[in-house]
Amino acid sequence: MAYAYHPYDYVTPPGLSAPELRHPVVIVGAGPIGLALALELANHGVRSVVVDDNNVVSVGSRAICWSKRSLEILDRIGIGEKCVEKGVTWKVGRTFHGDREVFAFDLLPEDGHKMPAFVNLQQYYVEEYLVEAALANAHVDLRFKNRVTAICQTGNSAVLSIETPDGAYQLEAAYVVACDGARSPLRTLMGLEFAGELFEERFLIADIEMKADFPTERRFWFEPTFHPGQSALLHKQPDDIYRIDLQLGWDADPEAEKQPERVIPRIEKVVGHRDFRLDWVSIYTFQCRRLERFVHDRVIFCGDSAHVVSPFGARGGNGGLQDVDALGWRLAAVIDGRAGADLLGAYDRERCHAADENIANSTRSTRFMTPADGAERMFRDQVLALSAHTDFARPMVNSGRLSRPCVYPLADAPDDPRLPVASRPGCVAPDAPTGNGWLTERLGRDPVLLVIGTDVPDVSGCRVVALADNPAIRARYLGAATGAVYLIRPDQVIAARWVAPDPLSVAQARDALWRGLA
Amino acid sequence: MTAPSNPTHLVTSANLADADGFYEALLAAHKGLNEAQSAALNARLVLILANHVGDNAVLAQAIHLARESGKAPV
C-alpha cells in the first residue's frame, strides 16, 4: 500500500514574541541525520533545537538500505528494533551478467549479532519513527516550517535567521550542526566549496507495488536481456514495494523518462507483467563530493551536507549515521565542559577519512558500472567475460561495495597482536551475545572498560563491563589470549586494548580519548 | 639465472626459458582476430596474469614500466 503522509504541526516558536536564550545546539534539517543527532545528544543529556523548512517526512523511499552499524546506532536512540521489525532483512546479494549469475555475497556469515547485515526500509518510515521519538523527548525541540535564511558567527556563537509562516526570528547557539542534505542551504550561505566529481550517467529509480515472491536479496544485473547494454538493480521493501534502478545513459531526457508512459513499459520488461502500481519515480545523476573540512568554528557539517556519494554502496544514509556516531558524544562533551573544542577536530579527522573511503569505494563502483568508452569499457567487459569461466574475476565485478563501518586509523593506540584482528583499535566493537542480551546494548553513552577473564584495572572515569566468556566473545575478543581489557569509546569504537594492562597505560588511553587523540 | 631476491620486486631480467616459444604462442593466440578482438584478448590476458602474480606492489611496478616504456625515447 502507498505510504500515508501526515503533515506535522507547525507551532509558533517562542523567539517570535521574545528573544530566546542562547541554545547549546541548533540542528538544521529534520531528516534522518539531524533527528538521529538530536536523539543521540539527548542520550548524552544535551538539549537541542531542530529546525526544518518542511513538515512531512521524505517524499519517495530514497535511502532504503540500512546497514548493521546504522541499526546499532538507531538501536541506541530507541528505534532500531522497530526498524528491523518493519523492514525487510537481507544479507545475500547476487550479481548477474546477462541472465547468468556471476557473483554472490553473504554480508553476515556468522551468528551472534543483535542486528542483521542489512534491512531495507523506506526513508519515510525511518523519519517517521525518528520524529515520533524526537517529539516524545524533552531534550529535543523540533520545529517544522522553520527555514534558515542567514547565518553569522560571532566569537563563541552562531546566529541563525529563521523564517516561519508567522514571521522571522533569530536563534543563537553555541554550535549549529548542518544536517540539511546534499543541497545544503547552509553550505551555500557560507559559500563553501563542495569539490568532487559528477558522473555523466543517468539512472531511473522507481518504486512499484506488486505481489511477488522475489527472494529477499539484492539483485544487480550488468547488461540484462530485459534492459540491453545497461545495468539494473532490484531491492525488496516492506508493504510489497520493490525498488528498481535502471541505467539510462547520459543522453536520456530526464523529464521525458519520468513520464509513466515511458517508465511503465521499462518496468514491465523487468518484472514480466503489467500488474503493478507505480509508487514513486525519480531520475538522478551521481556525484562524489565533499567539503574540505566538516568543522567551521561554530558550524559543523554532518551527513550529505558534508559529503555525497553515488547510491550503489548504500554509503549516503549509512555514512551520515556514522557521522552522528562520531560527533554526538564529542559535541556533548564540549557543550558540558568535559572536553575542549579541540575534541571536535577528531570528528573532522575521522569522518573526513571515512568520507574519502566512501568516495573511493563509490567512485570505483561507478567506474565499473558506467565505464567510459575505450580502455575502461574494454576492461569492464573482459572482467565480466572472464567471470563466466574463472573464480578470480568474480570479486573484480563491482556492483557496489556495501557500507561497512570505517576502521579509524588509531596507530598510536595500545594494542596486543595476540588479540583478534576484528576488534583492533579503531574498529566498532563487534557485537556478541552476553547473558540474556547483547554486548552492543551494554556499550555507548560513556567510556567502557570491557574486562574479560582478567582483573579489573584500577582506573577511574570508565564504566566497567565484566564479561563471562562464551564462544562468540572468545572468537571476537580473546583469540589465543585467556583474558583481555578493552577501552571502548561512547560511540562503541575500540580505543585501546591490552592482554595484561598496566593501570597507567589505561589511564593515558582514557585521557587521550577526551583529548581527541583516540 | 638467479631467482629474484625480493619477492615484491618486479623481475625485469630475462626470465623465460623459451622466449621465442612464448612469443610465437602469443602471436598464434591473436591469429584471425580483428583489432577489437585482439585488444579484448590482451585485456583478458592482463587480468589473468595479474591474478597469477597476485601482488599489487609488483603489479604497480609492471604498470609503471609499461607506461614509461611507451614514451618516445628522449
Closest-CA distance of chain B to residue A384, Å: 10
Helices A68-76 and A32-43: angle between axes, nearest 10 degrees? 50
pLDDT at B3 over 70: no
Task: Locate the DSSP E strands across A179-256.
Answer: 195-209, 218-222, 231-237, 241-247
> Is the distance from CB of B8 to CB of B58 less than 8 angstroms?
yes
Residue type, position A301, single letter: F
Four-CA torsion A337, A342, A347, A351, nearest 10 degrees: 170
- Sorting pLDDT into bands at 50, 70 and 90, what band is B7? low
pLDDT tens for chain A, residues 1 to 518: 889 999 999 999 999 999 999 999 999 999 999 999 999 999 999 999 999 999 999 999 999 999 999 999 999 999 999 999 999 999 899 999 998 999 888 988 889 999 999 999 999 999 999 999 999 999 999 999 999 999 999 989 999 999 999 999 999 999 999 999 999 999 999 999 999 999 889 999 999 999 988 889 999 999 999 999 999 999 999 999 999 999 999 999 999 999 999 999 999 999 999 999 999 999 999 899 999 999 999 999 999 999 999 888 999 999 999 999 999 999 999 999 999 999 999 999 999 999 999 999 999 999 999 999 999 999 999 999 999 899 999 999 999 999 999 999 998 999 999 999 999 999 999 999 998 899 999 998 899 999 999 999 999 999 999 999 899 999 999 999 999 999 999 999 999 999 999 999 999 999 999 999 87
Burial of A17 (0-12, 13-18, 19+ CB in 10 A): exposed
State whether A386 and B40 contact (CB < 8 Å). no
Contacts of B45 in chain A (CB under 8 A): none
Q: What pLDDT shows up at residue A103?
A: 85
State whether A385 and B39 contact (CB < 8 Å). no
**Buried (b) or exposed (e) across A304-317, using 16+ Cβ within 10 A?**
bbbbbbbbbbbbbb
Residue type, position A237, single letter: Q
State whether B44 and A386 contact (CB < 8 Å). yes
> Is the distance from CB of A291 to CB of A306 less than 8 angstroms?
yes
Residue type, position B30, single letter: H
> Is the distance from CB of A57 to CB of A35 less than 8 angstroms?
no
Give the Å distances, CA to CA, from A58 to A4, A61, A473.
12, 7, 40
Contacts of B39 in chain A (CB under 8 A): 378
Phi (first) and psi of residue A441, to 5 degrees:
-70, -20
Q: What pLDDT shows up at residue A496?
A: 97
Contacts of B40 in chain A (CB under 8 A): 378, 381-382, 385
Find, among A355, A376, A357, the residue nearest to A200 by Cα.
A376
State whether A383 and B47 contact (CB < 8 Å). yes
Give contacts of A 368-387 with B, CB under 8 A: 378-379, 381-383, 385-386
Instruction: Tell me, yes or no, if A390 comes closer than 8 A to chain B by beta carbon.
Output: yes
Residue A474 is given by DSSP the state I
Q: What pLDDT shows up at residue B1?
A: 43
Contacts of A211 (CB under 8 A, 6+ apart): A240, A275
**Buried (b) or exposed (e) across B6-33, using 16+ Cβ within 10 A?**
eeeebeeeeeeeeeeeeeeeeeeeeeee
The rounded distance, in Å, linking the Cα atoms of A162 and A168 is 5
Contacts of A443 (CB under 8 A, 6+ apart): A429, A450, A465, A488, A492
Angle at A222 between CA A219 and CA A224, to 5 degrees: 85
Closest-CA distance of chain A to residue B56, Å: 14
- Sorting pLDDT into bands at 50, 70 and 90, what band is B2? very low
Closest-CA residue of chain A to B49: A392
Query: Which residue's entry shows cell 557496489?
Result: A400
DSSP reduced 3-state for A77: coil
Q: Which residues of B touch A (CB under 8 A)?
A: 39-40, 43-44, 47-48, 51
What ipTM does this complex have?
0.91
> Is the distance from CB of A36 to CB of A130 less than 8 angstroms?
yes
Nearest neighbour of A393 by CB, restricted to B39, B40, B47: B47
Contacts of B48 in chain A (CB under 8 A): 386, 390, 392
> Is the distance from CB of A20 to CB of A171 less than 8 angstroms?
yes
State whether A393 and B51 contact (CB < 8 Å). yes
Q: What pLDDT shows up at residue B6?
A: 61
Question: How large is the greatest C-alpha to C-alpha distance in chain A, in angstroms?
Answer: 73
Q: What pLDDT shows up at residue A272?
A: 92
Task: Give one word for A497, left, alpha or beta, with left for phi > 0 and alpha for psi -120 to 50.
Answer: beta
Q: How far apart are the first and last CA of chain A?
A: 47
Q: CA Rg, chain A, in Å?
A: 24
Angle at A395 between CA A354 and CA B27, to 5 degrees: 125
Q: Which three cell numbers stand for residue A285?
A: 545523476
Alpha-helical (H) ranges within A146-285 are 185-189, 254-257, 260-271
Measured from the Cβ of residue A96, the count of other Cβ atoms closer than 10 Å reads 21
Size of interface A-B (CB pairs under 8 A): 22
The rounded distance, in Å, linking the Cα atoms of A510 and A463 is 11
Residue A476 is given by DSSP the state I
Could you tell me what percentage of chain A is helix, strand and coil, using 3-state DSSP and rounding each to the nearest 5? Answer: 30, 30, 40
Closest-CA residue of chain B to A385: B44
Residue type, position B59, single letter: L
The rounded distance, in Å, linking the Cα atoms of A33 and A41 is 12
The rounded distance, in Å, linking the Cα atoms of A450 and A442 is 10
Residue A478 is given by DSSP the state I
Q: How many residues does chain A have?
A: 518
Closest-CA distance of chain A to residue B7, Å: 21
Residue type, position A131, single letter: V
Residue A211 is given by DSSP the state -
Bridge partners, A280 (sequence order): A207
Contacts of A401 (CB under 8 A, 6+ apart): A313, A361, A364, A365
> Is the distance from CB of A404 to CB of A69 less than 8 angstroms?
yes
